Amino acid sequence: MHLPQFEYIRAKNLADGLAVLAEYGADAKVMSGGSDLLINMKYRLDTPKVLVSMNGVSELKTVEETADGGLRIGAGCQLTDLVANPAISERFPVLRDAMSAVGSRHIRNIATLGGNLCLETRCWYTNQSENWRMTREGCFKTDLEACHVIKTANRCHAINSSDTAPALMVLDASVVLASHAGQREVALIDFYRDDGVDHTVVKPDELLTAVLIPGSDRRSIFAKLAQRVGLDFAVGTFAASIRGSNDAPDSVCLVLNSVSAAPKALAESEKILIESGLTDEAIEAAAIAARKALGELTNLFTPSGFKRRLVKTLIRNALHELRDKVN
């Protein structure tokens, strides 16, 4: 498979990249590591006229400490570098664990945090070459009002597989979106839309420039299940954080990903744990509530029935582990 024709622009700095996006809008596509985008272009799922590479922009590659004990991480930082960053490992091990779970070492050497958060959604239909897809009609993601995965769907249910999204969400992180006109901060919990076609709030002329993580005294955990450890996208990921004691937590935050078009915050399960603490019974009830909250599921490599059972087990095991964690 070869790439389609496109104009390649390598941004010299942030202002340069934003100017290109302002000029070309939806005809342009941002490339960071390119580990996902270039494959989608070969599949003809993305055919931008202009590719703006932000890979050489040093302003996007810094990690800074913030006054509240948190971190500001440049969107263009490569995952391998971030995994090795001592400030991240010490303060936010849940993020380190999630980043370590992305693909293989080779992928993480080029993949960036910004690219991981903006990762396109996937399903078994889009995960194929254009020739394969041409044996069927199109879908919401291409040119037709139809879905091959959930026949009755009125929107695209392709899956959000970002490993870092749930980990950052349980840390109350937000992102900075910049355009030629200025910049805005968006809490990660408000960043995703439950629609596989238009799955983030990023506008065509905007760029994700940084991730902001506030200082925190939460204990947290990340869990991922994939068919092949060390390479595959997840079948399910789960992140949890808790502030306060196991018996009477002040706050609990639970997020599931790789099961729907947007990461899922598990409000009902959180309520159960806040009211009852992390007892065996409450953990079981929280896992059952999460399973019920799933709604429609797609079949990406695994049947949806398996995924429902998986979610319950993933959450139960992770919460037991979190309960025993000192930090």
Ligand X SMILES: Cc1cc2nc3c(=O)[nH]c(=O)nc-3n(C[C@H](O)[C@H](O)[C@H](O)COP(=O)(O)OP(=O)(O)OC[C@H]3O[C@@H](n4cnc5c(N)ncnc54)[C@H](O)[C@@H]3O)c2cc1C
Binding ligand X (rule: CB under 6 A), the pick from 32, 126, 174, 298 is 32
Task: Please count the other Cβ atoms lying within 10 Å of the Cβ belonging to residue 239.
Answer: 30
Which 117-136 positions form the footprint of ligand X (CB under 6 A)?
Answer: 118-120
192 token code pair:
């995703």
Closer Cβ to ligand X, 9 or 75, answer by number: 75
Binding ligand X (rule: CB under 6 A), the pick from 11, 35, 167, 223 is 35
Segment 271-280 long-range contacts (CB within 8 Å, at least 24 positions apart)? 273/242, 273/249, 273/319, 274/249, 277/245, 277/246, 277/247, 277/248, 277/249, 278/242, 278/246, 278/247, 278/249, 278/319, 278/322, 278/323
**Shortest separation between residue 198's beta carbon and ligand SF4, angstroms:** 11
Q: Strand 7-10 vs strand 50-53: parallel, antiparallel, or unpaired?
A: parallel
For residues 158 to 177, the per-residue mask of contacts with ligand X, x marking binding by CB under 6 A and - elsewhere, is ---xxx--------------
Task: Please count the other Cβ atoms lying within 10 Å of the Cβ belonging to residue 143.
Answer: 9
Please choose which of ligand SF4, ligand X, none residue 14 contacts, taking the beta carbon within 5 to 8 angstroms, the exact cut-off set by kind: none
Closer Cβ to ligand X, 227 or 245, answer by number: 227
Q: What are phi and psi of 307, to 5 degrees?
A: -65, -40
Q: From CA 218, how far away is CA 207, in angstroms rounded? A: 30
Is residue 241 within a helix (H) or strand (E), and if so which, with residue range? Answer: strand 234-244
First to last CA, the chain: 47
**Residues linked to residue 237 through DSSP beta bridges, in sequence order:** 224, 257
Given the rule CB under 6 A, which of 7-15, 156-164, 181-189, 243-251 is the region that contacts ligand X? Answer: 156-164
Positions in the binding site for ligand SF4 (CB under 6 A): 123, 125-126, 139-141, 147-149, 156-158, 196, 298
For residues 206 to 235, the per-residue mask of contacts with ligand X, x marking binding by CB under 6 A and - elsewhere, is -xx----------------------x-x--
Which 51-70 positions form the footprint of ligand X (CB under 6 A)?
Answer: 54
Please choose which of ligand X, ligand SF4, none residue 125 contacts, taking the beta carbon within 5 to 8 angstroms, the exact cut-off set by kind: ligand SF4
Please choose which of ligand X, ligand SF4, none residue 126 contacts, taking the beta carbon within 5 to 8 angstroms, the exact cut-off set by kind: ligand SF4
Is residue 236 a contact point for ligand X (CB under 6 A)?
A: no
Q: From CA 251, how far away is CA 28, in angstroms rounded? A: 41
Given the rule CB under 6 A, which of 1-9, 101-109, 240-248, 316-324 is the region that contacts ligand X? Answer: 101-109
